[in-house]
A and B are shown apart, each in its own frame.
Chain A
């Protein structure tokens, strides 16, 4: 257990479905992140929240919609996804957004398959 919990661990959805990924951190961190991890590719930063405010959105398609209701919870709402969106979605948290040794604590990820 890293202190960052993601649910569900596995999700299979059709292209017309609507689903959500959930992330919860118990570390008292102020920043939370969504990353996409595809095989043999670098981690892709999707969204960053600092104290519940979105501070970064890296040109992510609108079919991905983040929500941060408080500093401990982060959601990623999914709708009308494409097969190429199949990947491991990692949530992470850190003490602050931009600092020297900004160590990220990751969850184990949600493995998404879009049919």
Chain B
């Protein structure tokens, strides 16, 4: 079966760095997405990786290793507004999105 694993919850301190991991086993691969979802709000697109390596976008970076079935989202200079759930999703060979259950990130002052 197809599966996406990510930690259920993480806690970090304002100003610090946090890495949210995502591992996947899917039928084929056509890209990996990260979305951010604040409580009571819509999930919003953060990043898309289809080739191995690091994609940097401001304070957020996303890394992909297709051979290891592994990705991480790196958040730097954490701010209180980064408290949210982070959803990892993989597009399989049929371009269907397989979703993880999300990681709830709690930022403490």
Instruction: Give the distance in Å from the alpha carbon of A107 to the alpha carbon of B87 in the complex.
Output: 15
* With A40-B8, A98-B94 as contacts: A103 and B42 at CB distance below 8 Å: no
Please tell me if the beta carbons of A97 and B95 are within 8 angstroms of each other in the complex: yes
| Interface locus among A41-49, A62-70, A74-82 | A41-49
Taking the closest CB of chain A, its distance from the CB of B90, in whole angstroms, is: 11
Q: Which residues from A are CB-within-8-Å of B41?
A: 108
Question: Could you mark each residue 47-89 of chain B with 1 if its beta carbon is under 8 Å from any beta carbon of chain A, else 0?
Answer: 0101000000000000000000000000000000000000101
Q: A29-57: contact bitstring with B at CB < 8 Å (1 yes, 0 no)?
A: 00000000000111101000000000000
Contact A2 B42 (CB under 8 A): yes
- Grouping DSSP codes into helix (H, G, I), strand (E, B) and loop, the A interface class, with mixed when no group exceeds half, is loop
The one of B42, B94, B99 in contact with A109, judged by C-beta atoms closer than 8 angstroms, is: B42
Q: Which residue of chain A lies nearest to B3 when distances are taken between CB atoms in the complex? A: A42
Please judge, given known A-B contacts A42-B100, A43-B99, whether A102 and B45 are in contact too, CB under 8 Å: no
Cβ contact within 8 Å between A101 and B48: yes
Given the complex of chains A and B, what is the CA–CA distance between A57 and B31 in angstroms? 23
The verdict on A106 contacting chain B, using a C-beta distance below 8 Å, is yes
| Chain A residues whose C-beta falls within 8 Å of the C-beta of B30 in the assembled complex | 100
In the assembled complex, which residues on chain B have CB atoms less than 8 Å from the CB atom of A105? 42, 45
B33 touches A103 (CB 8 A): yes
- Interfacial residues of chain B within 10-60, with CB under 8 A of chain A in the complex: 30-31, 33, 35, 40-45, 48, 50
- Identify B45's interface contact among A43, A45, A103, A109, CB under 8 A: A103
From residue A33, how far is it (CB to closest CB) to chain B in Å? 9
Chain A residue with the shortest CB-CB distance to B9? A40
Q: Cα distance A105–B94 when bound, in Å?
A: 20
A21 within 8 A of B: no
Closest Cβ of chain A to B44, distance in Å, is: 7
